[in-house]
Structure 1
Amino acid sequence: MKRPLLLFSVSFIIGVLTARITNSHFFIIASVFLIFSTIILLLPGRSGSLCIAFIMLLFYSFGALEFLIIDNINKNRFKEFENENVTVCGVISSHPNLKDTRVSYTVSVKEIISGGSKVKKGGKILFTTLLGDDWQVYEHGREIRISGKLNLPAGRRNPGGFDYREYLAQSGVSATIFARKENVEVGERRKTNVLVSLGLFLRNRIVSVIDKSLPEQQAGLLNGMLIGSREGLTKEVQQVFSDSGLSHIMAVSGANIAFIVFPLLFLLRKLLHLKRIIANIATILVLIVFVSITGFEPSVLRAAIMAIVILAGQILHRESDALTSISFAALALLLYNPYNLFNIGFQLSFAATISLVLFYKNIKNILSPRFIPKGVTDVLSVTLAAQIGVLPITLYYFNKFSLVSIISNLLVAPVIEAITILGSIMAIIGQVSIMMSRLIGYVNCAFLSFVLFISKITASLPFAVIRTITPHFLLIVLYYIAVWFFFWYKPMKNIRIEFKYYILAFAVLTASFCVPMLAPKGLEVVFIDVGQGDSIFVRTHAGTTVLIDGGGNSSMESSYNIGDSVVIPFLLDYGVTKLDLVIATHGHDDHIQGLIPVLKDFRVDNFVFPECAEKEEFHELLEVSRLRTINVFSLKKGDRIRLDGDTYFYVLNPNRNFNGEKQSLNNSSLVLKLHYKNVSMLFTGDIEKEIESKLVQDKDDISADILKAAHHGSDTSTTQDFLEEVSPKVVVISVGKNNFGHPSQEVIERLEEKRIPVLRTDKHGAVIVKSNGRQVTVRTMLS
């Protein structure tokens, strides 16, 4: 059978995916037994096929069991020290990663001291500390002793959200620790992996030379193109490259490997007349060093492994095959760490490469008769083939698509090779003479400036980028099947399909996606985990969508915005393309800061805020609403918002005569009671006991099945009398790490005394409530 390695790698991948989805040893063993029985029944007496099938089953089993074992080790390696104050002794095993006001390192653990006892441990942790005027770089290989609280990273905290634990596991990291400078002791430098140390040393040397030879932006771009170092690029520039569809040029991959292999082989074979075996071995060694310089990124490893397979095949006089080389590279990376399968760089790199191998030729044949110049046809074919391969992955992770990527790639393609070659020469010559590197840099600066100019111009075009909801997994599978059929199988077999069958296929697909949408749905409320803040999403049975608050970030030093990072991705993952109503309960940052990007980037029909509020607090939200022609309303007690025939909000606070000078801003919060048939929920903003007491005294109907505890569970709220009047079945506390003592132990004890189940977003992640109007079901993202 041709390309058995392709079948084996696919089997291994299916095994890893099955283990991740089921997380069950029993299911894996049962599936292996079922597949084994099926093979015996279907392939009796066919020894060749039987042998291949059994090897595929072996790879499936190994992939599944390896993932389950490694996943279990990763989850439990530091379980005994979770949330404990410990001292970690280890060795720095990475270069510093700077982000905003913090810097982080990977530390290879040697031992952990807890309660006076020392425990020998392996594994890795992520150590984070604050940047300051006197911060120091902890170099690779340096012994370090860190005192702080050890935390185990949580999994996915919101539906469709970022899985931090899985992300860290891709680097072998099982826990995190934060410590200030005074709680860190640095020891001697120890011998470490020679290849890693060499890579970090050369990486720093290259970055230093480029930084000294070019202006800041151009240097940052060149460092990204040469070795994947993006530290010199601002977030704004990286965003521009993403919107223009040029991010891939800052990701080191196959093109960089080609720029190393071909010139080096030409030099060694043609100019120095070395034998093929010596030239190939020398090239392989250079590739290994280059991979270490780039930090062993999966995309670079994929390209390097494929190149090494081809070079080794030439030494052994074996003909290389692209798909077999791709399969070998995938297997090698997944055997080393099955978590690599969920690395975005891994997925994008392999998808683009496979797509180029399969579709480039046929796409070029389609474009060739169109009277397009050959050079343009080549660039177009490469760009389209790669884009076809990575499109679903891009939409799944980033929820956007660049409509200008073909134009931008066509414009910059002619100078990319020149930039890379000149940049490589600068990096080498600069080790001897910075002056020579700067002279070459004058030329390269012009090319780099051109790329920066094109990226900014194309990204600023109207409708350069469109936001999309996260595609369903089934839709992604169908997409790849269709692409494989129309761009590879159909041209290869010269298949002709009558037009009526296209209509039939379209009708079946449309029906398969529309029918589920017609199924009856109930009310859905999600208390989004936004850390220390509030954000609640409501979708009625008729499809009306509401967002109450958007969380926020109180640190003005950080560029991080919870709206961009959590709320908008959640909405897109939830299939929301438009919000009918956005509500700001009051003017504190931890409630409204995240609403700013929502109003800027999302389709919003209406924005409401409390009538008594000082408009200065909502100035930016109101200005964005005005610019985007969003309807703006203010609400007071007694108002009602009809969402659909069965669902409405009733406003319980603030009163029309609310005096902001005499009461806190918290007490201006909108208090909303959501009614859906026989079910109700009470959203209280940040009101304090004065307003709670008034609601009780006024004999307002505040009874509810679900209560959102006011002010993040603070001791200023959730009083005894208020709880008795509401009589909730479940209380949700939206809270994160904070210095305010939220939630108050007094409030927690009060709820426990009444035996009311308490769900906290800091412990349970997002809280998802569903109701058919008679019953309520509640689940959380974290156990």
Structure 2
Amino acid sequence: MIARLEKLSREVRTIRPAVLLFTAALAFIFIFTLDFCTIPILALLIGVFIWHGWRGGLDKCFLMVSLLVLLLIAVPIFREFKLERDKVKEISSKEVPWRGRIIIPAVADSSKWGEAVLRLDSGPLVAVRGDPQQLKAGNVIESTTRLKIPPAQRNPGGFDRRAQLKSQGIFLEVFLGQKLQIKEQKPSLLSHWRNLTADLQGSACEFFQRTLDSDTAGLATAICLGRTGGITPRENYVFKESGLIHLVSVSGAHLGFLLAPLRQVKAINKKAKDYLSLTMLFSFGIISGWRTGVSRACLMILLRKYSRRRELALDEISLLAVTGLILLIDPFRALQRGYWLSLGATAGIRLGVPPLLSWLGIKSDFGSNNIIMPPLAVADNSLLQLTCKFCQKLRGAIDRLVSRVFQLLAITCCAQIVCVFPSLYWQSGINPLSLISNVVAGIPAALITAGGIFGLFILAPLVFILPAVSSPLLAIWSFAIRQAVNVLRSLAVSCSGAKGGFIGSGEMGKAGQVIILLAALYIGLALFMQKPFYVLRRFLELCLLFALLVGFFGQKGTERNEVWFLDVGQGDCCLLQISDKIVLIDGGERDQGYYTVMPFLRYRGIDKIDIAIVTHGHSDHCGGIIDLLEQDMISRVVMPNTGVENIATDSSDYVQQDLSMDLVRLATQRQIPVSYRSAGDKIVLEDGLLSLDFLSPNMKQADNIQKYLPADPNRDSIVIHCRLLWLSLLLTADATLELEDSLVLEYQEGLRAHLLKVAHHGSKYASCDKFLGRVKPQIAVISVGLNHFGHPAGETLARLEDAGCQEILRTDQRGAVRLHVEEKRVRISTWLDKKKVWIIQR
């Protein structure tokens, strides 16, 4: 008996070799990105890999060869993260001449500049932005422009350029523009191929720009080619919140859109269809740049066709592992979000759709058009026979339609469930209505994709061969594409925002995020185990237990009394929060609302601004407010009392950059109330916990000054003395020296504040000694970005130090600034340096 048990214990368990190799490859890649204990963890992983392979019945020689191949795959990661990364700080700290060779060329799309990847002679990779015509693979470039470390995430929920380039093994970047010095050209065979594909992609982008109007070309190019340089920030935002963002980054779904018309053609035999499909896949892969989703889908189609022809048994899990492993020939894919989103969505579809359709009782094989129907009894009467045949065809058409709709719903549902986790953390929220919107959006997206490729490969050559014949066809084609783009854009707009069903990760809180992740996990288990009611009961029990725990421990301390100064570049943006009341003062330049403010609001769980105060009409202050108005995220707007009346008659240069009239017009269209405030007015919220005293504009002084000086929105800026609990802040917008003098005369010691938001981004024409002597700030915040005005001026910084300011916090150096106000102290921290904290005692 004992001998028998020992024999059973020695029996090996069969494993899927592809799954083991794929898992080990991913582990090797991520190990080399670690900053600590790389060698011990690598040795442990090798031991685990060999042990599992041996226990799984794999040959020793196969294991050794596989281990060598896996290590070779991870060599590029080892080089960039372990060898070249150490040189980055030294290279970026000095402004010295450098030389390098471009290895990945730039693509000329709708944007003026392209981005290429260059290998320095000293080793590291560099992201180079400049003229796409000069950034060709094989070109050797010399320059003295300083190489910089890419900026990290500067605001909560904002874009992280450093992480994006790090996923490609790039730790340096430089903008050269037209300042390129091509010393020599060393093109290899690989460089010629890369330049050819880049030129083809550029020509495809140019075709869309030439034949479609500007409102259509950007989205059509993004959907067909994955080049997003032409879509507006608003379009990017609404597609993201509606759950349709994957449509503007080419994925495997686009291959389905492309091949769908071919499947309906009955006149072509199967062999011809296969060759035509392969040709279309290869062509589409080239013009789309072989993105991860397209590469993965093409590989799966090829492997499936090959396994059927060779009569090989290849299950879905092994198929996913094989395609994932082949894609890791470029190991940096494993560090990119697109790789995991594509792999996860594909796994959810291939493994989840069949059991889901079976559970729903849909008699249709996934991936097949064969519908199972009982035959109809047909009599001998010819008229009755024709009627029965017609009814049978109609029934078949209806069954096929219903089956297709359920298949699309099942595909969308499974893909969305798998992508819940990355959506919560990479896109700051989820949209439950995306299950339906994706099904509806599939129709216009398929028309755009198939129509766009048809235009590229059929109409574009026809324009040169038969221009007279192609002109009417091109007009019809452009009209059809334009209508499909308009429908898709309208759908994205209607499904975005809080009204469209989007829920920000901050809005649902940690408890909501945990419940959603548990729900996704349990739904997946229900489909896999095919025991939906049992799993559903267990899930509801777990959710009830979790809700009781949350209710028992309570939500103590969740009230937020905070002040945020967001980094919106060369502009101003301040957010005040007391309990659930939100006040936003300025919003930065146009598009900063979409790039910075709205992601921050979603991250913090804010779906509505109670009051938006526009200190004056210059675009670097009110541009982002206009973006928020477009998304109906503002309940009320406050503007300076002299803002609107003076703009119409003002003939100064300021009119060209003043957006007050645009803002008022948009607010009127959206039926959002606009009120005007001047010196002496006051806004009180939450029973006096937050009070805003308006110190300017002073109507009487403004009338006197305008008799002698031209209108100046900066001089008429709203200046606010704010008190949040016991903390006092002086927010000075773009106040001029004349305005500061009038404030000193009018308020004297009433200007005293713990924190000063320095006027006009630290300009030397503001923040005079007399004014700072009255304010006596402990902390100064300068909202500033890259500019050619010299902001902040050295004289202003010196005056702040002389006035006794203990710390000067600049958003261009420290990112967003956060003040957390408590009963007896204020904790001040910055987004780029979260560990450092400044304290103001009451």
Task: Say yes or no: TM over 0.5.
Answer: yes
Partner of 1:156: 153
How much has 1:777 moved relative to structure 2?
1.4
Question: Is residue 2:168 matched to residue 1:167?
Answer: no
Number of the residue aligned with 2:757: 708
Measured in 2, the distance between the counterparts of 1:601 and 1:702 equals 36
**Cα contact 2:221–2:227 (8 A) shared by 1:** yes
- Provide the secondary structure at the position in 1 that maps to 2:750: coil
Counterpart residue number, 1:657: 700
The 1:24/1:239 distance shift into structure 2, 3 A limit, reads closer
> What's the counterpart of residue 680 of structure 1?
728
> Structure 1 residue 304: deviation in Å?
3.6
1:408 aligns with 2:440: yes
User: 1:253: which partner in 2?
Assistant: 251
Residue number in structure 1 paired with 2:594: 564
Pick which of 729-738 and 409-418 moved more: 409-418
Match status 1:602 vs 2:632: yes
The equivalent residue for 1:668 is 716
Structure 2 residue identity aligned to 1:164: R
Letter in 1 for 2:764: D
Letter in 2 for 1:535: C
Is the partner of 2:115 in helix, strand or coil? strand
Q: Structure 2 CA distance, aligned partners of 1:36 and 1:188? A: 44
1:383 matches 2:385? no
The structural deviation recorded for 1:317 is 6.5
Structure 1 position 295 matched with structure 2 position 289: yes
1:725 corresponds to: 774
Q: Deviations over 1:317-338 (max 9, x none)?
A: 7522322333344455568445
1:684 counterpart letter in structure 2: T
Cα distance in 1 for residues equivalent to 2:355 and 2:97: 60
CA distance in 2, matches of 1:499, 1:123: 50
- Structure 2 vs 1, CA of residues 702 and 65 (structure 1 numbering), >3 Å: closer, same or farther? farther
> Is the contact made by 1:25 and 1:68 (CA closer than 8 Å) also made in structure 2?
no
- 1:671-717 CA deviation, whole Å, 9 max, x = no partner? 22222333222212122333334444432333322221111111122
1:69 to 1:772, Cα distance in 2 relative to 1, 3 A: farther
Identity percentage over the alignment? 24
Q: Residues 562-641 of structure 1: matches in 2 within 5 Å?
A: 562-615=592-645, 616=647, 618-641=660-683
Which deviates more from structure 2 when the two are superposed, residues 330-339 or residues 750-759?
A: 330-339
Is residue 9–residue 59 contact of structure 1 (8 Å, CA) maintained in 2?
no
The one of 123, 127, 130 equivalent to 1:125 is 127
Partner of 2:830: 780
- Matches of 2:594 and 2:115, distance apart in 1: 25
Q: Is the 8 A contact 1:97 1:104 kept in 2?
A: yes
Q: What is the CA distance between 1:469 and its match in structure 2?
A: 1.7
Matched with 2:654 is none
Q: 1:58 to 1:703 in 2, by over 3 A?
A: farther
Q: Identify unmatched segments of 5+ residues in structure 1.
A: 112-119, 130-134, 274-278, 554-560
Alignment pair present for 1:523 and 2:561? yes
- Deviations along 1:596-616, whole A, 9 cap, x unmatched? 111231332332223343444
Q: Please say which structure displays the higher CA radius of gyration.
A: 2
In structure 2, the CA distance between the partners of 1:475 and 1:745, relative to structure 1 (3 Å rule), is: same
Correspondent of 2:588 among 532, 551, 559: 551
d(CA) in 2 for partners of 1:445, 1:614? 42
Tell me what 1:184 maps to: 180
Alignment pair present for 1:346 and 2:355: no
Aligned residue number for residue 105 of structure 2: 94
Query: 1:200 deviation in Å?
Result: 2.8
Q: Which moved more, 1:657-666 or 1:527-536?
A: 657-666
Do 1:532 and 1:734's aligned partners in 2 also have CA atoms closer than 8 Å? yes
Q: Tell me how far apart the structure 1 counterparts of residues 52 and 536 of structure 2 sit (CA, whole Å).
A: 43
Quote the Cα distance in structure 2 between the aligned partners of 1:446 and 1:590: 37
- 1:451 and 2:501 aligned: no
- CA deviations on 1:199-231 (whole Å, 9 max, x unpaired) are 335445666778889899888777656544566
Deviations 1:176-214 (A, max 9, x none): 333353x32345543132542343354456667788898
Instruction: Tell me the C-alpha RMSD between the 2 structures.
Output: 5.1
What is the alpha-carbon distance in structure 2 between the residues aligned to residue 171 and residue 337 of structure 1? 9
Q: How do residues 269-418 of structure 1 correspond to structure 2 at under 5 angstroms?
A: 291-307=285-301, 310=304, 318-330=312-324, 333=327, 336-338=330-332, 340-343=334-337, 345-365=338-358, 366=360, 368=362, 373-390=402-419, 393-394=422-423, 396-397=426-427, 401=431, 405-406=437-438, 408-409=440-441, 411-412=443-444
Q: Distance in 1 between matches of 2:679 and 2:475?
A: 67
Where structure 2 has 5 or more consecutive residues not aligned to the other structure, the ranges are 1-13, 364-397, 648-657, 834-842
What is the letter of the counterpart of residue 643 of structure 1? L
| Counterpart secondary structure, 1:666 | coil
| Alpha-carbon distance, 1:386 to partner | 3.1
CA contact (8 A) 1:245 1:408 kept: no
Bigger mean CA deviation after superposition, 301-310 or 145-154: 301-310
In 2: Cα distance, 1:221 partner to 1:314 partner: 38
Aligned partners of 2:125 and 2:172 also within 8 Å: no
Alignment partners' CA distance in 2, 1:287 and 1:297: 12
Deviation at 1:592, TM superposition (A): 1.0
Partner of 1:117: none
SS at match of 1:687: coil
| Deviations 1:132-186 (CA, angstroms, capped at 9, x unpaired) | xxx96654433444453433211101011100112233444433333353x3234
**Partners of 1:632 and 1:418 in 2: CA distance:** 46
2:800 is aligned to 751
TM-score of the two chains, using structure 1 as the length reference: 0.78
Does the CA-based 8 Å contact 1:209-1:430 persist in structure 2?
Answer: no
- In structure 1, the residue matched to 2:522 is 485
Relative to structure 1, the CA distance from residue 159 to residue 47 in structure 2 (aligned partners, 3 Å threshold; closer, same or farther) is same
State the Cα distance separating 1:764 from its structure 2 match.
Answer: 1.0
Change in 2 beyond 3 A, CA 1:433/1:2: farther
AA aligned opposite 1:544: K
Q: Which residue of 2 aligns with 1:115?
A: none
| Distance in 2 between residues matched to 1:710 and 1:347, nearest whole Å | 46
Q: CA deviation at 1:456?
A: 5.2
**Higher alpha-carbon deviation: 646-655 or 72-81:** 72-81
Q: What CA distance in whole angstroms lies between the structure 1 residues aligned with 2:30 and 2:609? A: 34
Instruction: Determine the C-alpha separation between the residues in 2 that align with 1:10 and 1:743.
Output: 51
Does structure 2 conserve the Cα–Cα contact (< 8 Å) formed by 1:586 and 1:609?
yes
Query: Residue 80 of structure 1 corresponds to which residue in structure 2?
Result: 90
Residue-by-residue CA offset, 1:368-415 (whole Å, 9 max, x unaligned): 389763333333333333344445645652767466625524645886
SS state at 2:297 partner: helix
SS of residue paired to 2:609: strand
Q: 1:215 to 1:770 in 2, by over 3 A?
A: closer
- Compute the displacement of 1:669 (Å): 2.2
Change beyond 3 A, Cα 1:386–1:215: same
CA distance in 2, matches of 1:606, 1:439: 50
Aligned with 1:764 (options 814, 830, 839): 814
| 2:458 paired residue among 405, 426, 440 | 426
**Superposition TM-score, scaled by structure 2 size:** 0.73
SS state at 1:177 partner: strand
Indicate if the aligned counterparts of 1:226 and 1:423 stay in contact, CA closer than 8 A.
no
Q: Does residue 142 of the first structure (1) align with residue 136 of the second (2)?
A: no
Secondary structure in structure 1 of the residue aligned to 2:599: helix
Bigger Cα displacement from structure 2, 390-399 vs 353-362: 390-399
